[in-house]
Structure 1
Amino acid sequence: MRPLGTAAATSFLSTLLLFLHLTASFPSSDMSNLSNCNQTFSCGALTDITYPFTGGQRPPLCGPPEFRLTCNIVDSVTTLMFKSLPYRVTRVNQTSQTLRLSRSDFYDDLPCTHLSSSTTFDNDIFSLGSNNENLTLFYGCKNLGDAVEEKSKFSFVEENTKFSCPMPGYLEEGFFKVGDHPSVDWCRTSFQVPFLQSWKEQLEAEGSSLLGKVLKEGFDVRYSDPYSADCQKCSKHSGRQCGFDAKPICICNDHLCPEKSSNRKPLIIGVSLASGAVLVIFVGCWIMVVKQVKKRKSALVQSQGLPVVTPTSTNFFRATPSLANLKSDLDKGSTYLGVRVFSYNELEEATNCFDSSKELGDGGFGTVYYGVLRDGCVVAVKRLYESNMRRAEQFMNEIEILAQLRHKNLVELYGCTSRHSRELLLVYEYMPNGTVADHLHGRQSNSGLLTWPVRLSIAIETASALAYLHASDVIHRDVKTNNILLDNDFHVKVADFGLSRLFPTDVTHVSTAPQGTPGYLDPEYHQCYHLTNKSDVYSYGVVLIELISALEAVDITRHRHDINLSNMAVNKIQNHALNELVDPFLGFDKDSVVREMVSSVAELAFLCLQHEREMRPTMEEVLEVLRGIERENYGAGKGGVEC
């Protein structure tokens, strides 16, 4: 057979990739991670769990997201998130469809907690069992029983129901009452928690000495799968299991069942035969195209001083988004890893010789300028401070990562200069509305445009970008409000990947010298040099607190205990003083909807800011909770800018 020309081979290979992409959408080859859906699984101390629950070795697609469990093997703890609160699951009875739950926030110092939300299970999926009784807990109560003149007021409190919670420098007094009771003006807060009715008599007799044990024992919740009708249609066929992927799905032999097997079977057979027929041709074309690309890249290196990147079988397609486009660009001698290579003179002209009046901002690695290219395209040009080997490494790192990532909430890299250029320059899409930091506590902080719905939208879109990075095995390492850009509609673009690194898929962490921005740096990473994706989660927790408070991550003018915003936030939340932290502009004290949503986001931020990384949620879990908060309050209190 006569060898194909490079253009023909590239065209053929692009067509083949499209063909294989289409065949990959067929049920027989999709979702290969469904192999455990037909088996029971263990989670923490729980065993023999099956649908609708997922977690541990059971993939998320094996059941609805509402039943996703978090499994801690080390502590044998199983956790379920509901209405942004974490609950420990101590018992599962799938015959009676009941769960034994207890609130995770009580475990650190029973019966004290840093949260102040009542426990309610009142939707179509989870509801409280009839064998529960309510308990009202009162916190921050003043002078319990000390004031003689107010004796009648304190007679409401039985002596054996009092307890104290250790706070920095003092003890906070509290008490409990069995049943539902309204709040009292001499206690800072109160809320309800269910407990097992079987403990009622003993609790009333023994009082607060038994309270911790009762709270730890928990309460029973009934659950109901809202998708059971669809699952019954699936499970009535032998050998099928039910799963969930935005909607109920049927799983056959560890794969998604075809909707109409009679129509799909001939197509699948045809695809299999066609795949076998082109295999030999594919191998030949593969070898030839790799050689051609290597030759052209070598020529490009000689002409423009670019580094040689040799494609391998594992990264060739990942690092080359479009083979046909790359070949076309290489023919022009103007791209590297699929992004355009600019001349220094062109970017100098675009920025009017890097005029200081065109500066958009600066960071640890360079100054960003507003620029207009010769074709009229508006861009942002990052000029690295110095062109040494360290900067060149960060320069190439950012190009390599951004060239292979595509997400609507990640900034798009348009191009770069050669690393042997007079200066190292990166060219990005221009974001006209500045950074989140600008709007919270910078030059645009008085605009009044960051209403609560806008801030929640920013939090969700940022979480979406970070969850995508983590799913792509990339850790950002410098998450902060200065690196979250905004367009005119206040949609997010996460930027600045100079510190990012690709994370090996077969390890739990990497050991590396801590890099990042003070105030956002994961304390465990700083102390142990162990970088994980939970390091980004900690930094994101600081971002959430900034969105809530409009305060800077580090401010030396604050009290020495409050210089670091994360420490300040943790203390305020633990001391039930969230109102002292919230930006007054949000109307926290006046708008009950905003107050509920802000409180839920603050609780989530508190989890993100845990010093031990195992206690922090994943970015995917963070995103799920935020979307839940938005769904529960959709349309409530929205104003200002539409998002």
Structure 2
Amino acid sequence: MPGNYVVVVVLSSLAALVLLLPPLFAAVDDGMRSGGKCTNSCGNVGFEYPFGVEDGCYRGGGFNLTCNHTYQSPRLFLGDGSVQVLDISVPHGWALINNTGMVFNSTETRVVLNRTWDQLVGGPYSLSGSNKIALVGCNARVDLRARVKVKHGGRGGDDDTGSNLISSCTAVCPLDLEDMTPVFAIGSGGSSAACSGVGCCQADINLDIPSSYTIQIHNLQELGGSISPTDLVFISKEEFSYTNDMAFGNNIPQALPALLDWYISSDPSECTYESAPDCLSANSFCHAYDLGYKCHCSDGYQGNPYIRGGCHDIDECGHRETYQCYGECINFPGGFDCLCYHGTDGDPRKEGGCLPVKHHLSGLFIGLGVGSGTILLLIAVGAPFLSRKMKVRKLKRMRQTFFNQNHGLLLQRLISQNAHISERMILTLPVLEKATNNFDRTREVGGGGHGIVYKGILNLEVVAIKKSMIIVEREINDFINEVAILSQINHRNVVKLIGCCLETEVPLLVYEFISNGSLDQHFHVDEPISLSWKDRMRIAVEVARALTYLHSAATVPVFHRDIKACNILLDN
């Protein structure tokens, strides 16, 4: 046996070998998550994991709810029961609460009154930027401030927490010049109107901010007089509807609906390559925000991404008007195809867009009457060409369908967002067919129950192409993230992933070709000594170096979890 070996640790992403990253589980039992043992509604409000009422039914850290049955119709509250919940959306990550208005005594001698907005219970919630702040009063200004971190420039500059102005508006009540009485609003009677700045003002918030807020009222009254005894402040997602009698304390709403955003975790760094511990469903991904991250179902899927099996395929064909398909609709996991019916052609995504083919062929029928012999000859000559063209078109459409089904668009997005991932990672099926002589059996260099390994020539480089036989849905969804991670692995003792092909039912992986077989093949030989002890020690050292790199030096730590002799390859 040769005395010089380079050890290569094999990494894999599909069913043929073990997944790289260990599964992460939350503390709540799957059976309870699915709602079998947990309350999933209170009054007319429905909810699901990560929210829950009973112990063991919610994620923790602020996702516990209280269902109060002392009302005629039960009411749902956040946490221990201080903030009423009107609605919860798990797919979109928001909660609608009944937000009580704040009352300020404007007759106090102080110019500025401060009040903390206490409608949050802490934890995962923040005030949504889609809300508005409204002030009902006279000659006063309301400021909404939040304590946010501010970075100081220069070396050694530390972050500081300051109170920043988020939104502000001013309400005035000018004097009528004829009778010198205050004007509370433009208009008369009890009719309602939007806040105009007279007797009432309103401003957009437009910024998602954390849960520490201060509301300030600046009293702009002249000394010695007060028009309205109180100023009322509301935070609401709706336009405030103002009436004149509100200036006298009549018909003022006690509370208005306000929107809270919530995040499954406050640490956005846990969301890497659109994968995160709490995104447990297949066909789900995470999205990082400044205040944390949320999980969402992938395109073409809907449901709850926080439980296993929670994201399910959307039947676009059952909602043709929503997805604009007026022809033959073919649904497949994660998407759909829209085609014109047989005998028609055109644009099936427009109503009336598919027209009978005879409209286009009327001239052909006239021509057949004049010179049928010539036309028939042309058809006979062109039929094989047309058949071949249709076959190529069908194969191209099938490859595109598999590409979408295997989340090729997601990989393209990851490549565009990460300069370390080469655009050449995505290979087409015709390129690999040419590299392997259409996957000729003479090119097979390995295989087993899970798939076949082919030897090919790609860009004048010898490569190994893994063609798996089987795969499960969960592995398909992990595949793209693993490819993004593996493509950045660069170590002399780790086999290099060159690219992948997503245009087949099961994706193909392309690795550099290691020519001297696996370590177990060198152990089990008929010769008296398969490997010297010196070679064995050096192989062990190089395996250790590869694992050290994967665990500590790679951009994203990788855990192989399947180190054995058949997964250690030797080159020449």
Shared fold (TM-score, shorter chain, > 0.5) = no
TM range (shorter): under 0.3
Q: Which has the larger radius of gyration?
A: 2
Q: Which has the higher contact order (CA 8 A, sep 6+)?
A: 2
Which structure has the highest strand share of the two?
A: 2
Q: Structure 1-normalised TM-score?
A: 0.24
